[in-house]
Structure 1
Amino acid sequence: MKNNISTVVFDLGMVLIPFDYNIMLNKLDKIEHGLGARYFKLYQENIDVYKKYEKWDLTDEEFCRINLNWLDNKITEEEFKIIWSDIFLKETKLTSLLPELKENYKLVLMSNTCHIHQKYGWEKYDFLKYFDKLILSHEVAAYKPMKEIYKSVENYTKEKSESHLYIDDVKEYVDAAEKLGWNGIHFIDEDDAYKKVKDFLEI
């Protein structure tokens, strides 16, 4: 194990799976012209609603009810869950490192996400089988950069802070990890991150 790293922690969105909200918005526009833009404006103006849902301060039903109201109830709850989660794209090349990393490191996924996106969006990706543990904001009631979600990882690994390597596309979240003693790699693009992970771990 290089650099005394025993656990490699990955973010999910953009790092392992890119996503594009325009896919969802275009589908809403097919239901009614301009619906996507109107909805997204309300969504962004009330982003605290999603932040509450992300750490399970709102249930699926409560979150859907609010969002369906923004959509003037033009679709059903089930249709909303499907359309709202249809944002995930082809996995990045970082996922190709997982089988090799699995041989020498604990692998943890730490993500700000939600139950609907998990169930209807990303849990179908095959590379998830390589992870020893998923630490998800809606399951631990904390999201990055809150210290509690990083500590949830440490509570699982039982390892020292400095033995963790974390990769995230949001620099604020990498900075929060480094303040706790973790090693961090800021994901800028997949080629850059791929090289940085290989160089750091000397693989």
Structure 2
Amino acid sequence: MSPRTKEQNEEIRLLRVKQIMQAAAEVYLEQGITMEMRDVATRANLGYGTVYHYYKNKHALLDDLLWQAFHDARQTTEEAFGAPQPPGQQLRRYGTVLLRQWFHDRSVYILYKMIWENFQQVPGGRFQKLYDQFQIELYHPLVSAIRQLGAQEPEKRANLLLGSMIGCAGLWIHHGHEEPDTGDIADSLVRSIETKGC
């Protein structure tokens, strides 16, 4: 049997990292910051040493998980608000796609939830840079679209929209329900901004 190529090793590494991060997201949703690396290894069906080979501790794992979630969420935000559509349609697309992303990638949901909770579970301003980037690249485009809609207090409306989405998604995620009609949820929330926001 010939040794693996560099490309094969990289493919295995990426697969393991994805496997570990997916397991970490599931464990974090159950246990919060008290999660243990041993639980992540068990959930990922990997050896304890394998997980430690990739991440020296749960904080390093959480760092990687949240920054990867940020990059994925940024792509979703750019896609939703980058298309030349009326702001109401952009907001509906944004809500639909972001909710769907949360149901398929729990780490992105965790990012938004932790931002919304101001990283209460994490000590010492550990994620200040992430928070700042979130404001610039994920929050401000949402506020801008709501402002273009003509809504008063666009920051307040953005907070209500995201808070409602986080709460709604949490009900399905934590109770293990099937994915709801994300388009219907987004439409209802955006309609409330359109009718009450001006």
TM-score range, shorter chain: 0.3 to 0.5
Relative CO higher for 1 or 2, CA cutoff 8 Å, sep ≥ 6?
1
TM-score (norm. length: structure 2): 0.37
TM-score (norm. length: structure 1): 0.36
